[in-house]
Amino acid sequence: MRTPAEPPRPRRTLIVSAGMGAGHDTVAAELARRAGARGGEALVIDVLRLLPYGLGGGLRRGYQAAVRHAPWVYAGIYGAFLRGGAGPRPSGVPLARLAAGRLTELVERWDADAVVSVFHLAAQLTGDLRARGRLRVPSAVFLLDFAVHRQWLHPGNDRYLCLTDDASARVRRALGTPAVTTGPVVAPAFLAPAPGAGAWRQRFARRAPGRPAVLLSAGAWGAAARPQETARLLAGAGYLPVVLCGRNARLLARVSAVPSALALDWVADMPGLLAAAHALVDNAAGQTAVQALAAGLPVIGHRPLPGHGAEGVRHMARLGVSRLAPDGPGLLRALADLTNPGPERAAQVTRGRELFRGDAMDCLTEL
């Protein structure tokens, strides 16, 4: 620890993420970048790596397998452990406590000034440690989901940072803990003109001249329900379906067999791609959807993943920042309304961009 005679050192923020897909790590990396831009230091760690006995890797593999191949399994897990309900509900604290020793040792060794969780198991861990007096520095939770499920919530945390006023109000009602609305966290490139958009437009024009490009997101793990069917529907309606397959090689191969679709694996230039497209068809209300809102690209929720994906997609639609398409005809109607300039597209884009109201680091530096 520092002594009073020592000169001040940069503020140190320990950010606890999880390698579940790419969304949590993407937010963590941007928070770390912002901390560095303010002259501070940030260290990002994966809470799953803090768990003993290989439990973290097992959780990751199990979740990935469920969302890709057995979404009904994840729906059951979500209903039992994450969704609220009457009567006793399982807690994430017993699992989180298995990582307690490693986290507190790291906080002490790195001499952190604050801990920020961007994953729900991490929020349970820091909240429990603060409540028991084992974590001596403030803990904040950046709640990056539109839908607030119960495993994000622990009264021991000092502050919650939320995407929307609705989410902040839910946290305050549930916990009585301070909760502020900062809006989503994205890299600055998504809120600025994208230099790579022109190259993407040229690629689309070579592949399907005159057809508006519509993105279909399957997340980092390439989890989607019947993407080939959706791609054929869009192509038949005159669009160029561009399917984002993430790091799922099998999905990439399957979609590549659809002659009218453009299948993409991991994309490095997401700002350019979003700026060049006409709409995003989303199934998870995750970071790809948030990045699209920042880029001014209309978002349509369709065939969402079960659990937090479905709840998040519905919350986005209720906020008016996306359109919910329950079936194929509904998807085509939404695209007809939102892919061309007009009042409906302009209003939805405006509502989406209004979410980006502040800098989460302003609230974190106040801890």
Q: Is there a contact between 155 and 359 (Cβ–Cβ < 8 Å)?
A: no
Section 165-176 average pLDDT: 96
Q: Say which amino acid occupies 50.
A: L
Whole-prediction pTM value? 0.94
pLDDT digits (tens, 9 = 90+) for 273-293: 999 999 999 999 999 999 999
Which pLDDT value is given to residue 81? 83
Highest-confidence segment of 62-71, 88-97, 270-279: 270-279
**More confident of the two residues 16 and 81:** 16
Residue 143 β-bridge partners: 162
For the segment 111-115, the average pLDDT, to the nearest whole number, is 97
Q: What is the mean pLDDT of residues 334-340?
A: 96
Angle between helices 249-256 and 227-236 in degrees, nearest 10 = 30
Between 300 and 89, name the one with better pLDDT: 300
Mean pLDDT calculated for residue range 254-261? 94
Q: What percent of the chain has pLDDT over 70?
A: 97
- Give percent above pLDDT 90 in the chain: 86
The CATH number of 188-353 is 3.40.50.2000
- pLDDT for residue 6 is more than 70: no
Q: pLDDT digits over 33-44, tens only?
A: 999 999 999 999
Mean pLDDT in residue range 245-269:
95
**Domain over 12-181 is classified CATH 2.40.50:** no
DSSP string over 166-222: HHHHHHHHHH---EEE------GGGGS--TTHHHHHHHHHHHSTTPPEEEEE-TTTT
- Averaged pLDDT for residues 98-110: 98
Domain 12-181 matches domain 188-353 at the CATH topology level: yes
Q: Is the pLDDT of residue 316 over 80?
A: yes
- In whole numbers, what is the pLDDT of the chain averaged over residues? 94
Cβ contact 222:245 at 8 Å: yes
Q: How confident is the model at residue 4 (pLDDT cuts 50, 70, 90)?
A: low
Q: Does 15 or 79 have the greater pLDDT score?
A: 15
240, pLDDT greater than 90: yes
- Examine the pLDDT at 74 and tell me if it is beyond 90: no
Instruction: Give the total residue count for the chain.
Output: 367
Type of residue numbered 273: L
Q: Where are the domains of the chain?
A: 12-181, 188-353
Q: Which residues pair with 142 in a beta bridge?
A: 161
**Residue 206 scores a pLDDT above 70:** yes
Torsion of CA 289, 292, 297, 300, to 10 degrees: -10
114-117 and 279-282 strand pairing: unpaired
Euclidean distance between CA atoms 356 and 250, whole angstroms: 35
Q: How large is the average pLDDT for residues 288-306?
A: 97
The predicted-structure confidence for 116-154, as pLDDT tens digits, reads as follows: 999 999 999 999 999 999 999 999 999 999 999 999 999
